[in-house]
């Protein structure tokens, strides 16, 4: 028997796929243009020309290039959160999810590092990473630290982000696993030195 609801649902699925494809094309166009010319030099017309789409199509999805960049970075942030949560209760180094995620999205991370428009997302990533590290510190060290956990967590995350930036700027010369292990070793050495000095 003919079911109009099924036809409608299939049409919605096709529409959803078109939306995802269009947004993906716009995102890729923006990222490649920023890497080539810098964010400020890129126009909506440049983006639509590169994506081979009309300006009207762009404005169906995004208000302006800032919103396109923000949404792209937000999707990346959501992916990092998911990766971090999956590794939270394991023995993997605290920064492994960040390095793996950066390797999978290296062009987007390079844009994020160099873009003023990305400052809000970068802050959210840092705050989230701090919350993850604080939980790991609490489970590993409990009340044994005489430095506030906030300070230790910000130190650890700061070192992860500094090494992540260097790693991306130098075209990923080492694996994500190696970088995460080195980062953890450096941070653990600092904590051990603190405990020995007490």
The residues, ordered by sequence, that sit 6+ positions from 108 with a Cβ below 8 Å of its Cβ are: 31, 72, 73, 76
Q: Where are the alpha helices (DSSP H) in 38-175?
A: 44-51, 55-61, 65-87, 96-104, 106-114, 119-141, 149-169
CA–CA dist 46, 32 (Å, integer)? 11
| pLDDT of res. 166 | 93
DSSP 36-51: HH-GGG--HHHHHHHH
Question: The tokens of 28 are what?
Answer: 């890729």
| pLDDT of res. 91 | 62
pLDDT tens column, 128-143: 778 878 887 777 776 6
**For residue 101, which of 45, 55, 168 has the smallest C-alpha distance?**
168
Q: What is the torsional sign of CA 51, 53, 59, 60?
A: negative
pLDDT higher than 60, residue 121: yes
pLDDT tens column, 51-109: 999 999 999 999 999 889 888 877 776 776 676 666 555 566 667 878 888 888 887 77
CA 8 → CA 2, 14, 19, 20, 178, distances in Å?
12, 10, 16, 18, 50
| pLDDT of res. 1 | 47
| pLDDT of res. 124 | 75
pLDDT tens column, 166-188: 999 899 999 999 998 898 888 77
CA 6 → CA 1, 12, 16, distances in Å?
11, 10, 15
Distance of CA 44 to the CA centre of its chain: 23
Measured at the alpha carbon of residue 60, what is the angle toward residues 54 and 66, in degrees to the nearest 5?
A: 90
If pLDDT is split at 50, 70 and 90, which confidence band does 111 have? confident
């Amino acid at each position: 028997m003919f079911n109009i609801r099924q036809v409608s649902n299939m049409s919605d699925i096709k529409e959803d796929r078109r939306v995802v494809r269009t947004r993906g094309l716009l995102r890729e166009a923006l990222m490649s243009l920023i890497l080539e010319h810098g964010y400020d030099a890129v126009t909506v017309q440049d983006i639509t020309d590169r994506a081979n789409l009309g300006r009207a199509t762009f404005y169906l999805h995004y208000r302006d290039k800032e919103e396109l960049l923000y949404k792209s970075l937000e999707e990346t942030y959501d992916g990092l959160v998911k990766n971090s949560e999956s590794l939270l209760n394991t023995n993997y180094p605290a920064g492994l999810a960040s390095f793996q995620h950066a390797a999978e999205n290296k062009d987007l991370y390079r844009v994020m590092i160099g873009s003023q428009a990305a400052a809000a997302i970068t802050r959210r990533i840092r705050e989230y990473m701090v919350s993850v590290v604080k939980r790991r510190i609490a489970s590993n060290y409990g009340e044994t630290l005489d430095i506030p956990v906030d300070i230790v967590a910000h130190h650890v995350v700061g070192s992860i982000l500094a090494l992540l930036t260097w790693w991306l700027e130098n075209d990923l010369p080492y694996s994500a696993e190696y970088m995460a292990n080195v980062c953890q070793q450096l941070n653990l050495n600092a904590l051990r030195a603190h405990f020995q000095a007490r």
